Amino acid sequence: MARRIERIVIHCSDSPNGRTLFTGKPGDKNFTTPLQEIDSWHRVRGFKRLPGWRRVQEPALTSIGYHFLIYVAGAVVSARHVDEIGAHAQGYNASSIGICIIGKDKFTRAQWEALKRLIESLQATYPGVEIVGHRGLPGVTKTCPNFDVAAWLAGGKQPLAGHVLLDESVGSAA
């Protein structure tokens, strides 16, 4: 059953700029992905996905509250199913989709491009949907996602000045 989606809420992971949130290398025993990392953060906060939705998508993720992550290298990765109610914007979860871009306030060009493509694809699926930053919701005192979503939209979804992470900074924040 498709949910009625009224808004897309953009978040950041509030982790150091350029830190990928991968641990180890693929094949290593301790290898973890950003999906698993953020899932563990949200498990600690007590978020729980419903078993029925885990069967539909990403069964190993017990908690993650977002629907999409945008990795430092620009990959768009699905977490919760778009028709699964998220846990990312109190009071607005029932009718929203949550996107989390990895970083604090500077993002790679690949991330900006991925965000543009993801938002445009969701706008095609949900015509007229509102696009907001987490901090743009009434009553929110957080600064997440630490950039001005309205200005980004008004500028044609181009990377925002002062919020572009240079490639040579990637991975140096570990």
**Binding footprint of Zn ion on the chain (CB under 5 A):** 11, 134, 144
Nearest distance from C-beta of residue 100 to Zn ion, angstroms: 7
Alpha helices of 8-142 — where are they, by DSSP H?
Answer: 34-44, 51-56, 109-125
CA distances from 69 to 1, 10, 16, 87, 154 (A): 23, 10, 16, 14, 23
Closest CA to 149 of 133, 161, 172, 128: 133
Amino acid type, 81:
H
The smaller minimum CB distance to Zn ion, of residues 87 and 144, is found at: 144
Nearest distance from C-beta of residue 8 to Zn ion, angstroms: 12
The smaller minimum CB distance to Zn ion, of residues 14 and 55, is found at: 14
The smaller minimum CB distance to Zn ion, of residues 11 and 80, is found at: 11
Residue 155: both structure tokens together: 């500028």
Nearest distance from C-beta of residue 91 to Zn ion, angstroms: 13
d(CA 103, CA 71): 9
The smaller minimum CB distance to Zn ion, of residues 45 and 55, is found at: 45
Instruction: List, in order, residues 6 or more apart from 126 with CB less than 8 Å away.
Output: 5, 8
The smaller minimum CB distance to Zn ion, of residues 13 and 124, is found at: 13
Nearest distance from C-beta of residue 164 to Zn ion, angstroms: 20
Nearest distance from C-beta of residue 106 to Zn ion, angstroms: 16
d(CA 42, CA 87): 9
